[in-house]
Amino acid sequence: MNRRIDIFRGDITKMQVDAIVNAANTSLLGGGGVDGAIHRAGGPAILEECIKIRNRQGGCKVGEAVITTAGNMPAKYVIHTVGPVWSQSNKQANELLANAYSNSLKLAVENQVETIAFPNISTGIYHFPKDIAAEIAIKTIKEIISKHQQIRQVIFVCFDDENYSIYEQLLSYQCGN
Q: Alpha carbon 46 to chain centroid distance?
A: 16
Q: Does 135 bind ligand AR6 (CB under 6 A)?
A: no
Q: Provide, rounded to whole angstroms, the least separation between the CB of residue 29 and ligand AR6.
A: 8
By CB under 6 A, which span of 6-14, 45-53, 58-66, 103-111 interacts with ligand AR6? Answer: 6-14
Distance CA 29, CA 85 (A): 17
Residues 6 or more apart in contact with residue 169 via CB below 8 angstroms: none
Distance CA 105, CA 79 (A): 9
Q: Are strands 65-69 and 77-81 parallel, antiparallel or unpaired?
A: antiparallel
Q: Which is catalytic among the residues 18, 35, 131, 161? A: 35
Chosen residue from 5, 80, 83, 107 binding ligand AR6 by CB under 6 A: 83
Q: Provide, rounded to whole angstroms, the least separation between the CB of residue 147 and ligand AR6.
A: 26
Q: Are strands 65-69 and 19-23 parallel, antiparallel or unpaired?
A: unpaired
Of the candidates 34, 15, 16, the one whose C-alpha atom is nearest the C-alpha of residue 25 is: 34
Let me know if 35 is a catalytic residue.
Answer: yes
What's the length of the chain? 177
Q: Does 12 bind ligand AR6 (CB under 6 A)?
A: yes
Which C-beta is closer to ligand AR6: that of 92 or that of 146? 92
Which C-beta is closer to ligand AR6: that of 150 or that of 169? 169
Q: Does 157 bind ligand AR6 (CB under 6 A)?
A: yes
Neighbour count for residue 40 (Cβ, 10 Å): 12
The contact pattern for ligand AR6, residues 41-80, with x = CB under 6 A and - = no contact, is: ----------------------------------------
Neighbour count for residue 143 (Cβ, 10 Å): 13
By CB under 6 A, which span of 10-18, 42-50, 61-69, 169-177 interacts with ligand AR6? Answer: 10-18
| DSSP helix/strand/coil, 64 | coil
Which residues are designated catalytic?
A: 35
Residues forming contacts to ligand AR6 in the complex (CB under 6 A) are 11-13, 23-25, 31-35, 37, 83, 119-126, 157, 159-160, 163
